[in-house]
Chain A
Amino acid sequence: MEKLPTILLAAGVGCFALAGILSGYLPLAHLGKIKVKTVEELVTEPSYEFQDLAKRYPEQFKKYYGDANVENYRKALKLGRDTYIAEACWHCHSQYVRPVSNEDQRFGKVSYAEEYQNEMFLPHLFGTRRVGPDLIRESGKHGNDWHVAHFYDPTIVVPTSVMPKYSWFFDGDQPNQKGLAMIAYVQWLGSWATPEAIARAEAEGGQK
């Protein structure tokens, strides 16, 4: 128990591996039954919000993205995700709705494993703290224009907010490439589980 080989092998490797198997590999193998989708499989058409951005800010959109087609939408989503990470948004906004504390009442449908099994959650963005609300059901809760104003300076929309302003998402007061990408990304979060989408899925499921 006090010899180096025991310590290195039993404590160092053994215990680490045991924990790795029990709380890493097992859940991982369990979740591995759900196919991991690529962005191409996941996103098949540009969202309403993305097209709406193209209508609202035609010059900026043309300049940075061109048309509101699906390739550009994927590009915007990826850039939005990367910006979300670079600005560490996930330190103040979580991305999972827990089945407790009335969170489904507040945010929407409780999170489920399938929705995270895709490349957009590589790495996952579950988050660690909620200074601001959870965002995994954010899609469609606010309009694009609300998001533009909110990124420009959150306190002008929500006077009590402590979110910093992101002036580098803007050329003047028009969203730039990053700004458009962020809005497209935030509006994408949970677009598969809005009440409307759930109703639609149920209707389609019912037809089968």
Chain B
Amino acid sequence: MPNEAIPLVDRKAVKYHIIAGFTFFYVSLFAGLLYALQLSRYYPFPGVELLSPGRIRMLHTNGVAYGFLFNLFIAAMHWIIPRLTGKPMLSRVLSHLIFWAWQGIVGATAVGLMTGHAQAIEWGETPVWIDPVVVVGAALLIVNSATPILKVAKRKLYVTLWYFSAMMVWLPLTYVMGNFVPQYFVPGAGGAAVTGLYIHDLVGLTVTPLGWGMMYYFVPVILKRPIWSHTLSLVGFWGLAFFYPLNGVHHFFWSPIPMYAQYGAVMSTIAVEIVVFTVIVNFFMTIRGQTDLLRSNIPLRWFYTGMIFYFTTCFQCAFHTTLTLQKIIHFSDWVPGHAHLVMLGVFGFWLIGMTEYLWPRLVGNEMYSRKLSVAAYWLSTGGLFVMFLDLLVAGVAQGYLWMNLAQWEKSIVLSMPFWHIRTFAGTGIVIGILLFGYNLWMTAKNPGTRTAESGPASGRKAADDNAEEAPSAASSQAS
């Protein structure tokens, strides 16, 4: 029901956020590659203060989180929320203000980190003087995107909007709690408990709801059929809301945080796995009978690969959260392996898939090359899978060496081949994403396939766009 005067979707905002997101993605990827080179002892800039590997590592993690993931999630919100509510975002000016504010925040964070102003909160290394600005930026984003949802608040909302609207409450609470409490008020183990909550809430209550919200929208749209079970959607959402935030302390097992909190974290983490299972079942039942689309439809392929990785990573989580396995794998390379699978393999892949789906619609061209898209998919997936398995094995080996009281240096010597493989696999990922970016670039530049207006380019895509009403149909159908 796009209004002719004011188009429902602010396509420009979506496009800008995607471009900015990928720009930061490349910065982060190269930062990650540089850090991997440090561990392989081939660091190209030794002894340069502004390119110190320790700082580069923070650039990698924060660039991915705030530069890549959040930019693309904001793009997703700009695309999805108006379509599901039928109402535009509060203000275009505000959208553009938020865009520039957010790039300013991420850019300032990058500069702050590289000049040595980091904060010692994992995933919140954002310098302390930027933290309040982030809160303001997030508040503006929430005001902007909550308005359309509030306008339809009397209706029953579609699953995606449950996730999105709950996230709008969780994000500021999480950010304020994590960045201010351990920094100014609570030292030591108590602060660690809060930091654990923060790290986990940022993943579980911000990134995950955004990600699943997106999936609940795009998958039915592409498949042109509703989600298999509305009940399982409900279980998934409420399970996540209830159990996920209770996991926080599992980042600091066997620490001086009181043991009851640690036991609680173990149990709720295992509970999350059950919830995850219901969501995964729901999505795989939705695609049942149409799996051939995974071969032809590349966005869908990224989405479902991400879901398989999501299941893997949560399954892994349920195991390594047990205190028994923690003894071995905590502090080892197992953890970065796990983190890469979650952040890149799940949310990164979903967002790349979303870009693959949205980009032709935004620039009005067919994707420049399907071969490049496929190559990007296989290089990234292959690279990530090799990296994940490599770090997994490295982590177990390191853990056992430490446990067996081997001289510390032995764990480094042992890790060396694994770290070389990780650099190699990481290079694969970087090349894959570079190909992807080149494909986007050529798509935007190439006027060959441009259709009369910036609408869908082919009959197939027109059908896709029409199918965008599917989710709300699904909602009403199931209820």
Contact = CB atoms under 8 A, between A and B. Distances in A.
Task: Assess A/B contact in the complex (Cβ within 8 A).
Answer: yes
Interface string A1-33: 111110110111101101110111011101110
A101 to B, nearest CB: 4
B293 interface: no
A161 B412 contact: yes
B285 interface: no
Interface in B332-384: 332-333, 335-336
Task: Tell which of A126, A127, A167 has the most Cβ of chain B within 10 Å.
Answer: A126
Contacts of B162: 2, 7, 11
Contact of B169 (A2, A13, A118): A13
A123 to B, nearest CB: 4
Interface stretch (B51-59, B75-83, B216-224, B294-302): B51-59
Interface stretch (B22-30, B253-261, B460-468): B253-261
A164 to B, nearest CB: 5
A91 B58 CA distance: 9
B54 A87 contact: yes
Most buried by B among A86, A120, A122, A166: A86
A106 B54 contact: no
Contact of B165 (A12, A91, A126, A133): A12
A118 B85 CA distance: 50
Interface stretch (A47-55, A109-117, A188-196): A109-117
A164 B265 contact: no
26 contacts: A3-B156, A4-B149, A7-B157, A8-B169, A11-B241, A12-B166, A16-B170, A19-B248, A20-B177, A22-B246, A23-B261, A27-B190, A28-B193, A32-B190, A89-B54, A100-B327, A102-B404, A106-B402, A115-B188, A116-B188, A121-B191, A124-B191, A128-B122, A128-B251, A130-B402, A162-B39
Interface stretch (B129-137, B179-187, B273-281, B430-438): B179-187
B54 A164 contact: yes
B190 A11 contact: no
Contacts of B122: 128
B413 interface: yes
Interface residues of B, number: 95
**Which bucket holds chain A's interface residue count?**
35 or more
A27 B149 CA distance: 37
A98 B254 contact: yes
A44 B479 CA distance: 68
Contact of B182 (A7, A88, A120, A122): A122
Interface in B213-263: 234, 237-238, 241-242, 245-246, 248-249, 251-258, 260-261
